[in-house]
């Protein structure tokens, strides 16, 4: 697998990524609407009240796990094989999708 960021140097910093979950079947049944807007070009999540948060990576609800891995994790794993340390924390509220 070729790295999505193969030309970037390994940096020692913290990066944050977010993937917005899709609506659950119950939420769709209840005609709920998504209250966040994902702006991939600016890496922003914009809440319904117009508050914006910027991340290093943002992903749409349709994004597959492999794409998240390729863009966020692959280089970190490869760096481990070169002697660098890496930590990955994944959080998702129980039952959130």
Q: What is the pLDDT of residue 14?
A: 83
Sheet of 36-39, strands arranged across: 36-39, 44-47, 52-54
What contacts 17, CB < 8 A, 6 or more positions away?
55, 56, 57, 58, 59, 68, 71, 72
Interval 30-89: pLDDT, tens: 999 988 999 999 999 999 888 999 999 999 999 998 999 999 999 999 999 999 888 998
**pTM for the model:** 0.73
| Residue 94 clears pLDDT 80, i.e. is over it | no
Q: What is the pLDDT of residue 7?
A: 42
Tokens found for residue 91: 């959080």
Q: What angle do CA 68, 72, 76 make, to 5 degrees?
A: 135
Cα–Cα distance for residue pair 59/44, rounded to 1 Å? 10
């Amino acid at each position: 697998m070729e790295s999505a960021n193969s030309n970037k140097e390994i940096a020692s910093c913290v990066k944050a990524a977010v993937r917005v979950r899709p609506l659950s079947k119950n939420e769709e049944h209840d005609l709920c609407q998504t209250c966040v807007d994902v702006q991939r070009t600016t890496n922003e999540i914009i809440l319904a009240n117009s508050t914006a948060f910027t991340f290093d990576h943002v992903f749409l609800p349709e994004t597959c796990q492999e794409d998240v891995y390729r863009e966020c994790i692959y280089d970190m794993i490869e760096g481990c094989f070169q002697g660098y340390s890496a930590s990955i924390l994944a959080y998702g509220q129980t039952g959130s999708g």
